Amino acid sequence: MIKLEKFAGNPILRPDPSKRFMEFATFNSAALTLDGKVYTLFRAQTYDFESTIGLAISADGTSLEYVSEEPIYRPREIFEKRVAYGIGPVGCEDPRVTVLDSRMYMLYTAVSDAYDYVRVALTSIDIADFLEGRWDRWSRPILISPPGVWDKNAALLPRRVRGKYVVFHRFFPNIWVDFVDSLDFRGYWLRGFEFLRVRLNMWDSDKVGIAGVPVEVSEGWVAIYHARSAYDGAYRLGAVLLDREDPTSVISRLDQPILEPTEWYETEGISVVFSCGHVVLDGKLFVYYGASDKYLAVAYIDLDELVGELLKYSDP
Which sequence spans correspond to the domains of the chain?
Answer: 13-312
Q: The domain 13-312 belongs to what CATH superfamily?
A: Glycosyl hydrolase domain; family 43 (2.115.10.20)
Confidence class for position 315, pLDDT limits 50, 70, 90: low
**Residue 35 has what pLDDT?**
93
Torsion angles phi and psi, residue 55, rounded to 5: -130, 135
Strands (E), 90-173: 90-100, 103-111, 119-126, 142-143, 151-156, 165-171
- The one-letter code for the residue type at 49 is F
The closest alpha carbon to 224, from 205, 234, 207, 210, belongs to 210
Beta 165-171 vs 174-180: how paired, if at all? antiparallel
Residue pLDDT, tens place only, 250-283: 999 999 999 999 999 999 999 999 999 999 999 9
Q: Is 141 exposed, middle or buried (0-12, 13-18, 19+ CB in 10 A)?
A: buried
**Residue 295 has what pLDDT?**
98
Q: Whole-prediction pTM value?
A: 0.97
H-helix or E-strand containing 160?
none
Q: State how far the Cα of 22 lies from the Cα of 73, in Å rounded to an integer.
A: 13
